[in-house]
Structure 1
Amino acid sequence: MLVDGGIVAIFSAATVVVHALGIVHAAHAVMKVRSSQGAIAWGISLVTFPWLAIPLYWILGRSKFHGYAEAMRIAFRQHDKVVREAYSEILEFQVALPEKLAALQPLAEAFTGIPFTSGNAAELLINGQQTYEAMLGAIAQAKNYILLQSYIVNDDKSGKEFKQALIAKAEQGIRIYFLYDEIGSNKLPRSYIKSLKRNGIQVSAFNTTKGRGNRFQLNFRNHRKILVVDGEIAFLGGLNIGDEYLGKNPHLSPWRDTHMMMQGPTVQCLQSSFMRDWYWATRTVLEVNWHIKPNLESNQTAFVLPTGPADRLAACNLFFVNAIDQSQTRLWIASPYFVPDESTLMTLKLAAIRGVDVRIILPNRPDHLFVYLCSFSYYTEMQAMGIKLYRYRDGFMHQKIMLIDRDMAAVGTVNLDNRSFFLNFEVMGFVADLRFVESVEKMLQDDLAASIAVDLSEYDRKPLWFKLIVRISRLLAPLL
């Protein structure tokens, strides 16, 4: 009996301690969690179910990535001369935006320190085959170095093709740096990495859990996809490295995606983004070419926006909201996920109210069920404001595109969701050029032709159990 009494006493004491910790964590959530919805949800959970909620809060509760900004400041101080020289050369290509887009220039400089520039060339790459051929072609032409970053890398036919292409260049004496996200690439076998390293390629995970306060924060991801060759040509967009991006996953085939090839000052901006991530992962600074080779024939105006949870401000969310707010006649968006925060949703509504043709293209089949279901919860609000929703039916659509009037188009890694806006390291390329805009317009018109216009009132006719699941998904929106 004494033993039983001792166990009860220990359990009672542990219960008191855990509930006290729950209250402490709840207070932390109220003070630190980004949204009031999230703060309330965490606060109630931590007080009511502390045994479950506390470990989940350690993993999912933060929206700020610790240590990254401090590491960058140290790197900049150590390499001040190189940074200043590279920055001053980029500024030589600074360009004034048209009056309609002028409000974006101070935001660009405030968030990145780098403005919209001239002397760029952007080429749209539609779907995996075209993208991989262009990327592998650029790798084959490399003369000095290759910087390759991907969220997901698979050890399948496509992954092996990229591996062999990199090894072949390494054998020619080309310096190669390969960066991947360890969470996104959790299925990548060690043998793949060892094979690259054995052939002289420098490989590193991004190290998401590195640094004080990040140890358990599995919610952060480096979602960027970047390739830079010799500091002269670069790629970014929605495609990772794997067969599924060529449409070889029978459940999600054909795969619809978009990438972009760039030349000019924006290459150095993408290179800078890679360099920062590489420094975080390895604490080493690479020797690269910072001399800009402008494409004066195309001479497009463009800007690269790298964002992430280490930003002082929510740069991704703020820039997107402001860009949407510049639309006057047309705003077309393609995204695989639609889980916008309140500010983005409000800006979309306001655009529709003032007469902008707001169209959002989403997949008709899910790859993440909760995210897919959550999008239904916005139907009633979108219908009331005149926002048009389309479901892409010809396979799975994974592209991240925004088209504003006839003035600007964007391609990159940012989804229209909380995760991209607040939790992921992302990168987006904005091009303010009529020729590029027209190419994106043509592409989206084809996508719309392969889509079905959604009757937003259909949600009202759904059964109660479906609406309940959708509302639960909406409550989880800050974490999706």
Structure 2
Amino acid sequence: MTIILTLHTLLVLTFTIRILLRDDLSPPGRLAWFVVLNLLPYFGSAIYFLFGETDIGNRADVRHKEIFREIRAKASWFMGEPDNTDSLIEPTYQPGFRYAASINGFHPSAGNRAELMSDGDETLTRMVADIDAATDHVHVLYYIWLDDRTGRALAEALMRAARRGVTCRAMADGLGSRKLIKSELWQRMQQAGVQLAVALSLKHPIRTILTSRLDLRNHRKITVIDSRITYCGSRNSADPEFEVKAKYAPWVDIMLRFTGPVVVQNQLLFASDWMHATSESLDGIALSRGPVEGGFPAQVMGVGPTERHGATPHLFANLIACAQSELTLTTPYFVPDATVLEALCAAAFRGVNVSLIFPKKNDSWIVAAASHSYYHRLLDAGCIIYEFGEGLLHAKTLTIDGKISLIGSSNLDLRSFDLNYENNILLQDEATTQAIAGRQQTYISRSEVVELSTVLRWHYHRRIWHNVIATIGPVL
């Protein structure tokens, strides 16, 4: 009995000291781990060992730094100039663009244009047509790539392009697209000449567990065609019916088709992932940019576990602080850290019209419970919360003052903040922002307003449940 008690004490003490030694862990995160370790010491220790730290491994960190040194040395001209922020961006919004530039070194470049796709069918039709018209290269990266109508149509377009001599590179995340990677369709793509790579492969799961963690994923959705066209938004290579989670369907996504210098920035972000997965150099990836005429300023922003900690919440906080009159945000997964939560409340308190649109029914019960724990405080500050009830609203958008937009793959949750590789485009343009804001209004028209009186009437056991989940959220 004494031996068991001693081992128990050593186990808890070891992980407690490790948690106390971590400077990157927030006080709420540290507290959450203490709660779990004390209530469920053996389970908590095992979970901390498997999922407690966001370190992707020293080799990955070193390789990431090498890759971006090579990109800056060979392609800095495509990344934009630091002075562009002062010359292209309105002073009110410059802090947000400067912060975004500090993450990867991508600065705003003028000459961009964007089209908002009307729905999933138009997105697929336009993508396939652009791939069919490609003459030099096509690069795609998806977190989830299913063997469904959309997934097969894109795969077939890539195979057609490869057969006519276009260089096609396709990447899929090792976990999110695990079924496709093992499928006959994946093999057919390889046989047709499409170059394939797996992002964060799970080929050696034991080694991954010992050196990193299984749930560090590449959540990006990147499509680049001939360095002239790129698509950016929330949609994976999957049908809206989303067969793996069909009971939450349709999944409502948003996608923009961009042309201009921002395309090459997205190309470089894709290249960084490709170089990491294949150990190839940047030299084999075509980079070109057409003449800049008119258009709006935009820049790419990519985050992940090899970037600095807290980059995404800091970016959102900077952008929220720039808002002068209105701010509308859509996200399927809302579990903000204190930085983002305080920024939203502060914006509402100073008179900004803050509208938040979330799905009414979420595919993650953990996220749903944690999200609800923030409703009282947000509503009390003056934010307006809408719950979208016609499927799972998967769009990740932020519009500010009818001028600034952020669109991409980042959710407002701890996974996007700390664990996932994400890609986004930040832009300044009234026409594009108003188009996105118009789409946000269609979401609102199909949503229910959440009243503060309703939240106050929630039964005490429901409120306790929400707050318990939110308290241990960093563990989950």
TM > 0.5 fold call: yes
Q: What is the 5 A alignment of 1:124-203?
A: 124-188=116-180, 190-191=182-183, 192-203=185-196
What SS does the corresponding residue of 1:477 show, helix, strand or coil?
Answer: coil
Q: Which residue number corresponds to residue 305 of structure 1? A: 301
Contact kept? 1:29, 1:61, Cα under 8 Å: no
Give the superposition deviation at 1:114.
2.0
Q: What is the 5 A alignment of 1:424-443?
A: 424-443=420-439
Q: Which residue number corresponds to residue 11 of structure 2? A: 21
TM-score, normalization: structure 1?
Answer: 0.90
What amino acid is aligned across from residue 54 of structure 2 in structure 1?
Answer: S
Structure with greater Cα Rg: 1
Flag the 1:57–1:126 CA change in 2: closer, same or farther, 3 A.
farther
> What are the superposed Cα offsets for residues 414-443 of structure 1, whole Å, 9 maximum, x if unpaired?
111121122211111111011111111221
The structure 2 residue matched to 1:382, chosen from 378, 388, 394, is: 378
Q: What is the 5 A alignment of 1:30-45?
A: 30-32=20-22, 34-45=25-36
Question: Could you tell me how far apart the structure 2 residues matched to 1:216 and 1:86 are?
Answer: 30
What SS does the corresponding residue of 1:414 show, helix, strand or coil?
Answer: coil
- Unaligned runs of at least 5 residues, structure 1: 1-7
What SS does the corresponding residue of 2:211 show, helix, strand or coil?
Answer: coil
Ranked by relative contact order (alpha carbons within 8 Å, sequence separation 6 or more), the top structure is 2
RMSD: 2.4
> Are residue 395 (structure 1) and residue 391 (structure 2) matched?
yes
Contact kept? 1:183, 1:221, Cα under 8 Å: yes
Contact kept? 1:309, 1:425, Cα under 8 Å: yes
Give the superposition deviation at 1:88.
2.3
Aligned residue-pair number: 466
Contact kept? 1:76, 1:83, Cα under 8 Å: yes
> What are the superposed Cα offsets for residues 73-111 of structure 1, whole Å, 9 maximum, x if unpaired?
33355x4xx743521244369352111112234323321
The structure 1 residue matched to 2:403, chosen from 400, 407, 411, is: 407
Give the superposition deviation at 1:249.
6.6
Contact kept? 1:307, 1:426, Cα under 8 Å: yes
What amino acid is aligned across from residue 179 of structure 2 in structure 1?
Answer: K
What amino acid is aligned across from residue 116 of structure 2 in structure 1?
Answer: L
> Are residue 122 (structure 1) and residue 114 (structure 2) matched?
yes
What amino acid is aligned across from residue 170 of structure 2 in structure 1?
Answer: F
Q: Which residue number corresponds to residue 76 of structure 2? A: 87
Q: Which residue number corresponds to residue 3 of structure 1? A: none
What SS does the corresponding residue of 1:440 show, helix, strand or coil?
Answer: helix
TM-score, normalization: structure 2?
Answer: 0.91
Question: Could you tell me how far apart the structure 1 residues matched to 2:181 and 2:110 are?
Answer: 42
What SS does the corresponding residue of 2:179 show, helix, strand or coil?
Answer: coil
Question: Could you tell me how far apart the structure 1 residues matched to 2:103 and 2:145 are?
Answer: 29
Q: What is the 5 A alignment of 1:295-374?
A: 295-297=292-294, 299-374=295-370
Give the superposition deviation at 1:295.
4.9
Give the superposition deviation at 1:112.
1.8
Flag the 1:55–1:258 CA change in 2: closer, same or farther, 3 A.
same
Flag the 1:382–1:422 CA change in 2: closer, same or farther, 3 A.
same
The structure 1 residue matched to 2:468, chosen from 454, 468, 472, is: 472
What SS does the corresponding residue of 1:194 show, helix, strand or coil?
Answer: helix
**Structure 1 residues 183-192 or 119-128, which shifts more?**
183-192
Flag the 1:178–1:339 CA change in 2: closer, same or farther, 3 A.
same
**Structure 1 residues 427-436 or 308-317, which shifts more?**
308-317
- Unaligned runs of at least 5 residues, structure 2: none
Q: What is the 5 A alignment of 1:236-315?
A: 236-244=232-240, 251-286=247-282, 287-297=284-294, 299-315=295-311
Q: Which residue number corresponds to residue 104 of structure 2? A: 112
